[in-house]
A and B are shown apart, each in its own frame.
Chain A
Amino acid sequence: MIAAALDNSKDQNDAASTSSWYEASARQRVENLLDANSFNEFIGPELRETSPHLPLFDLPEQFDDGMIVGYGRLGGKPVLIAAQEGRFMGGAFGEIHGAKLTGLLRAARDIASLPVLILFDTGGVRLQEANAGELAIAEIIRALIETRLAGVPVVGLVGGRSGCYGGGGLIAGCCSALAVSEQGRIGVSGPEVIETNRGVEEFDSKDRALVWRTMGGKHRRLIGGAEVFADDTVASFRDAASYLIEHAPSMNLSTLESEQFRLAQRIERFGTCADALDIWRSLGAAEPQSIPALSYREFVALANDLQEPRHDAR
């Protein structure tokens, strides 16, 4: 049982680690999450491995294509790490962006001893690279599953401004475990996509409270879509990452059967609920409408009372 025992409220003195995860750039997150000066980047920006597609659309490139991959140390232990820059094209997956993550995961599979951290911050596939981006998602998922089958934990951290949507949401769902902050959102179709396709009566993307209680970190934690609820600080995500690497479940047939059982139970239990508030009420929350306003500590205490994520699953 993962989240119940986690206390990531330790005092951190350095300003960098208590700074906001949401506000930080991908490079700042990597730098502040890992042990000081331990990060070594693969295929750095100086190599200029940029998208072959963006110039066709007369769009500006970024030297790292919005994906940073490399290795470093977390609490003294070596890890492989990937981070998406959510401000560059919404952190979207393109050909190069995806290939860097696929390569990192394949290396992790072959080495079979270094855990992988993925710092998600993405709206999904980059529209300008549609098919190449979709292929990248498929390759990443295959590489991720092979990595997990090799006994390597792959832990996702979600707390950036672009959330974790589209193919990114699918990849996150394949991870060994996830940590999410209140600001983080996890889903496949984002609010605007749902509204565009099904109308404002189905889902009002301008209703921020609705968006957050449907896709936000608190809801994902309560229904077992993420194992750990993190505070919006680098320090909190660091503790969550260390904890989840240690406690990530292995992947085998019985894990998949448990996950299938867990998801079937979830539909049975909540399938008729019209809103997240109904789900929280049926989970046993006395005042579900107060949950969005709860502080980090209050929410963690409540979530641990209401529901323990099941770690025989995933």
Chain B
Amino acid sequence: METLNYRNKASQRAKGSKLQVIVGVVASGNLEVLAERVLPDSECEVDIRTAAEGFGEVWQAVVADFVEHRSPGGLKFSINDGGARPDTVALRLAQAVSAIEGERT
């Protein structure tokens, strides 16, 4: 197991008023993302526990790209990962933002 943590600046606050959502499941090649609205509006934190070790740089790139595009200000993401590929991670993060902003998942 490897624990990773990234804190990025976000240009805008995530929309909506929901306080938390959870998406995904911890299974082989999959992950769960718990999003909580607990940070200042310009902050975004991603906390990761992953079964696949040694992919810190990939995670950092995926997270930075995600924060840049979705601007999930105010949200803390907690991830339990069962070895998902970067594209799956990106989709789950996007799904979590959509869910907390009030769109259907």
Contacts and interface: CB of A to CB of B under 8 A. Distances in A.
Interface of A: 25, 27, 44-46, 48, 55, 58-64, 85, 87-88
B25 A55 contact: no
Contacts of B26: 60-62, 88
Interface residues of B, number: 17
Given A45-B22, A45-B32, 17 more contacts: A25-B25, A44-B20, A46-B20, A48-B78, A58-B1, A60-B26, A60-B49, A60-B80, A62-B25, A62-B26, A62-B32, A62-B80, A63-B34, A87-B27, A87-B30, A88-B26, A88-B27
Contacts of A45: 22, 32, 34
Given A45-B34, A60-B82, A63-B34, A85 B49 contact: no
B50 A60 contact: yes
B21 to A, nearest CB: 10
A59 B27 CA distance: 11
Contacts of B41: none
Please classify the interface of chain B as helix (H, G, I), strand (E, B), loop, or mixed, using the class held by over half of its residues: strand
A46 B34 contact: yes
B25 A85 contact: yes
Nearest to B83: A60
A55 B36 CA distance: 23
A87 B50 contact: no
Contacts of A87: 25, 27, 30
Contacts, number: 43
Contacts of B34: 45-46, 63
B90 interface: no
Contacts of B20: 44, 46
A59 B81 CA distance: 10
B27 to A, nearest CB: 5
B94 interface: no
11 contacts: A27-B22, A44-B20, A45-B22, A45-B34, A59-B1, A59-B51, A63-B22, A63-B80, A87-B25, A88-B25, A88-B27
A25 B36 CA distance: 21
Most interface-central of B22, B26, B30 (chain A CB within 10 A)? B26
Contacts of B30: 87
Interface in B49-87: 49-51, 78, 80-82
